[in-house]
Structure 1
Amino acid sequence: MAMISILASFTVAERTRGDAAALNIAGSLRMQTYRILNTLHELRFDLEKDSVSLNAKLSHALDDFTDRLKQPDLIRAMKKATDQQLVAQHQKIEHLWVHQVMPSLRAENRWDASHFYDQEKTLEALFIEIDSLVSILENNTENKIRLLLFIQFTCLAFAIVIILVSVEDLRKKIAQPLKRLMLLVREASQHNFSIRSELKGEDELSALGQTFDDMATQLSASYANLEARVKQKTLELERSHAALQLLHDASHHLYEHGGDLCRGAVPVLKAVEKLLDIGPTNLYLASDEMPHLTPVMTTQVITRPAYCKDYSCNACLKTDTPDPIPVSEKTKIKLTLPISAGNQQLGTLETHYPQGRVLSDRAIRLLETLTDQIGTAVYLHNKSSERQQLSLLEERTVIARELHDSLAQSLSYLKMQVSRLQKVQQKETVSATQETIIAEIRTGLNNAYAQLRELLTTFRLQLNQPSLKEAIQQTIDEFSKRMQLSIQFDYSLPPSLLSPNEEVHLLQIMREALSNIHKHAQATAIAVELSFVRASVHLLIQDNGVGLKDGKVPENHYGLIIMRDRSMTLGGHLSIENRPEGGVQLHLNFSPVSVKTPSSIMLTPIQPS
């Protein structure tokens, strides 16, 4: 726009150049016309005074007018003029001067009154024409000046408009984008990458804004990814810490409570379930007394399991609202982990988790470490129980040996002396009272010797067969051979339920009962059932023999007295009665020392199904 203004000004100035000179010349021509007319007046009225000088003055004035009319500046201005009126006016003046005024003023009769009047009219006409020329020149000059002003103002207006448009364009394309970019920079410095520049276009700032948007998107994704990874790592560290704390607590609980897995393992397993969001978890242990794995513990049950040993403990019971949908119907996956100590398989730990979820290696390692701790605790408890039982059995072996070497020999000696006494009595006459007393002494000695032999047999059985089930099975096999019949045997006791003393008392009661059946029942079918129901051990022995006479138990029967004493030692209840279908039923019900039960369960004897 500045170049246009400069070019327009230069063009107008170039076209105006010489107009001032032409205007001055035209003005001087008008003035020279006045001089010629004034000289004519002087010649007319002062002819007698100095006509020669006036003629010379007039001639000089005419020549000067002619020279002025032919001035180069005026000729150039006429040649450059685009206004035909100006050119025509100049030509008219030149024609009027050359063909009318000049010839008239140089004529011989120019001083006549009539001729002077015509010359005066001609000069006035010339003056009017020159004045018109001057007016035209002035108008043309003013028009050029107005054109120049118009061009200047127009260019100024366009410049102002262009400046305003440029300012607005700069504001929209530079100021606002820069302000937006600065906002993005400030927000990005505060780790806020959610704001976008929203710049559209092909300019550099738009490209910069789009690049910044892409960078913000990538940084936002990177920060989100990093935050997620940090959160995940933090959660993993917290879980690792919780796992380490859990393993420490597990070690403390398991070894503090010994073989009580409910109090020792259930809280730990529930903590694992909460930590890993799994469950329920069940623990099964192998036993020499059972052909299959036996459930010994669970973490989420609605009712107390049958194998529960501690009715004051509610660790395995669910405290929240029971889930009516079974686990198998909820598409849960079962994970079974072996429990072992060295090469010895002790059982399995079974847990469940939702289908579609994958347990991490860390979670599986935690479960494996926990199973190792449980296996170690179970193994140590079993070894402790075995050492205790073997120590007790060794002590019993020593007692049996001492009884055999001392009391058994003494009883044998007394039996032989009684036999000698009876032979001496056969040779001599004795009273009936003496014979009766001697017979009673012999019977007592025989019974005492038989009881001693049974006791020694029991001790030897326990020494050779540490397992209660195997010891009972050996006893049943022994009496089966004696009575030449098959004895039905059903065993369903949880492992490690009875103490060694309880096992001895239970085995002695069973042997005494089978011995009485062998001696008195004349039975052809015998069934022995040993079970654990509602925190109580139930021993049920049934036969189809002749039954009790008059349905009453003999009061002074030595073997029955021993059985009642043993049942009282166990803290249980012993009942012997005839069966409706024939034979006798013996039922022993007691709660082992390892089982903690409320008094309401112990007060009422439980009849087995």
Structure 2
Amino acid sequence: MQTTRSVSLRIAKYLFLIIAVAGVIISLSLVIMASNKSDAEAINVSGSLRMQSYRLLYLMEKQPDTVEKNLRFYEKSLHAPSLVDIQHQLFTPDGVKQSYQTILKHWAEMEAFARQNNIRQYSQNLTDYVSEVDDFVFELQRFSEQKWFFALSVLCFSMLLIVGMVSYVIWFTRREVVKPLKLLTHASMQVQMRQFNHIPLDTENDNELGTLARVFTQMSAELGKLYSRLEEEVNEQTQKLRQTNHSLTTLYQSSQSLTVNSINETILSQLLSRIRASEHLRYIELEVLGAEHWDIKFGEKQSAQRVQVEELKVENETLGVLLWQAGLPCPDPRMMQNLAQMLARALFFHKAQRQQEHLLLMEERSIIARELHDSLAQVLSFLQIQLTLLKHNLKKEDELAKQKSLTIIADFEQALSSGYAQLRELLATFRLTVQEANLQLALEHVIDSLRSQTTMKMTVNSQLPSQSLNPQQLVHMLQIVREATLNAIKHSKGQFIEIRAQTNIEGEYEILIQDDGIGIPSLDEPTGHYGLNIMAERSRQLNAELTISRRSQGGTEVKITLPQTLF
């Protein structure tokens, strides 16, 4: 295992060494400054010895009694701490020490002359003594200058040493930290740009950045492998999504073909041909129960390959079988299952639609038969009875029989005209029922067919949904409206008829036929007229409430109220 040397620890050591060197220099400078301070004092004290020696000569001549006192003062100056300490300093030159010892020895002689008040000897030796003091002062000055020069040299050397050490630390930091970090930054930018084969890093260093470079290189290599693997998976998923999207598009187009068009052999053949080309099938076939004569298959069936089968079932009812042999690439099984379900539901709805159309046809026929029975059949029965009576009367030759025959013929003609009018009304109503389910338009067609029979102004306003009534209910409703409108045209003597279809405050549907005429005198229908009774009978079949009343402002109102359960 490789030993790791910490670059940060090395930099810290270098900085600590610089700080230590700077501390030593500062300490040495402080020591030199302190010694220079004592040197100045020593120079001053030694310089004062010359003046004091001359002063003693003067006092010996003028004031001999003060000599002793001044000798003690001189001794004190000669042995001052600054002069004594300088002798014990480590770097004090021998010349300074010898010069000081010479002064001490010579002063011992001079002190003896002074105590003896030997002015002549004192005076003769004074010049030599002062010369020795001058030499001592000179030695002190030179020593002080030497220390200053030494201090200056030390400072200059120390500054150069610190500058050199700092330069080395900077160079070391640039080499060991800045350069590897720049390479790592460049490599990371390349990795960010998906260039995993980045510039080579210094992985041989045994420090933290070397470890980081090795880890980064290993990580980028793993990221490159992972990215390549993910890219392959993304491409694979993209291909699958494209295939799925293609399958969904094919299913959507197939669904559109099955729902928009009526299902037949041509539509199913086009659908299977498109599925075979889209899913790369070798063979596909559709068998529809009840339509086995349809030949819907494409491709060549391979005997060596298994045929896959999917039953077309809805609500446990089998409607057909879908068979196919896969090609390359193989189709998604869910695609074929969805196709089978789509075909099954399309066939089921087609079958249900055909049954519904048949039921609607039977219902329309039943409505027509009932209406014919309730109208034309009764008229024809009446005509048959009248015809029988006419035959009996024609066998008689009296005048009364002839008059009755003419009356029967008149009734016959009136009944025939009434039957023909009813037939036209029924035909118009049945055309509306089959062709138009919109209530507003159906009411307008009914009223338009009656406009030629009156000069009254008639309006229609329907606020009900278009598909409010089924065909059977619509026939009854239109017949009630027609009968009520005809009654208003024949008997109201008014100027205006309004037909409204709306929702009342209880949420029920109601149809109103109103006129501004004289108003209905009574609800009792005259003999030979059956319009009100027929309207009431139709209302009962609708499970609706029929109300006929006089309006307070004049005229008649016929209201049909339909319960909500009707719809």
TM-score tier, shorter chain, comes to 0.3 to 0.5
Q: TM-score, normalised by structure 1?
A: 0.38
Q: TM-score, normalised by structure 2?
A: 0.40
Larger-Rg structure: 1
